[in-house]
Chains A and B, each alone.
Chain A
């Protein structure tokens, strides 16, 4: 008798556990304004994303510009030197 009772309890527990596990979450008891959330949760993500993308653009463009500028200087110096050599050889 006792063994049967234990078996029934065990079976019920086995069935009840998954049923209870699939219960919907507790209903919301109050509304919390966004300003009351922790500072990290209030922080908007979009400006951070835009800042990251913009920084890469600016860094790449700035670096390309520095190469172009340095190359321009070197090539101008080469031309000047070539001209000087041509004049001196005449």
Chain B
């Protein structure tokens, strides 16, 4: 993986740089026009945020159950990426909403639950940084709680009356929009995989450093 990391990172950067060309050629949406093209970054970022929250929650559950430090390393890396992609969602969404809805923010179900999901990820990171001894288990429990929020974020647009587009939008995208969407999604999934790998590696090195200090004390 170490050998493949740099070429894959360059590939992700090239895809990211080329994405605006693909998106520019995608069909214009009939009611929103140009600003709808924010969707090509916003929606895949939301998908990555939700996937990352699930990865964090599953890894945390494994850590609580099996006490496997490797699972904890995955959990902390995924939590940081949930916070990062959550921030991207919470910034790009209002940029779209300002033109499409006439307001930056509305306290409706999807937006509020996404914000809560992001706060849980940030809360996890604060607990891990400042929680002291036992914060690993406390954080893991919080991450499991955060994962329980994910299905609610996803279905919120179908259950409650919201201004946010429904989950049927992506599966029913027209061929003129579908290619650009999945190109952007693939780019962000690749970027997520690479950032997660790099972050797990950092956590592994930190564990190795802690072991070196412990060996020196002995």
Contacts and interface: CB of A to CB of B under 8 A. Distances in A.
A63 interface: yes
A67 B35 contact: no
Q: How large is the interface on B (under 10, 10 to 19, 20 to 34, 35 or more residues)?
A: 20 to 34
Nearest to A55: B91
A52 B209 CA distance: 38
B205 A43 contact: no
Q: How large is the interface on A (under 10, 10 to 19, 20 to 34, 35 or more residues)?
A: 20 to 34
Interface in B24-68: 33-35, 37-38, 41-42, 45
A85 interface: yes
What does DSSP make chain B's interface, helix, strand, loop or mixed? helix
Given A48-B96, A74-B205, A81-B212, A64 B35 contact: no
A40 B66 CA distance: 54
Of A40, A48, A70, A82, most buried by chain B (CB within 10 Å of CB) is A48
A48 B198 contact: no
B153 interface: no
Interface in A38-90: 38-40, 43, 45-46, 48-49, 51-53, 55-57, 59-60, 63-64, 67, 70-71, 74-75, 77-78, 81-82, 84-85
B16 A57 contact: yes
Of A49, A70, A71, A77, most buried by chain B (CB within 10 Å of CB) is A49
Given A56-B88, A63-B195, A70 B41 contact: no
A60 B191 contact: yes
Nearest to B87: A59
B173 to A, nearest CB: 18
Interface in A18-49: 38-40, 43, 45-46, 48-49
A56 B98 contact: no
A45 B35 contact: yes
B163 to A, nearest CB: 13
Interface string B101-125: 0100000000000000000000000
B201 interface: yes
Contact of A46 (B16, B34, B209): B34
A40 B216 CA distance: 64
A78 B33 contact: no
Interface string B73-114: 000000000001001100110011011001000000000000
A75 B205 contact: yes
Given A48-B38, A85-B216, 6 more contacts: A45-B35, A48-B96, A55-B91, A67-B202, A71-B198, A78-B208
Interface of A: 38-40, 43, 45-46, 48-49, 51-53, 55-57, 59-60, 63-64, 67, 70-71, 74-75, 77-78, 81-82, 84-85
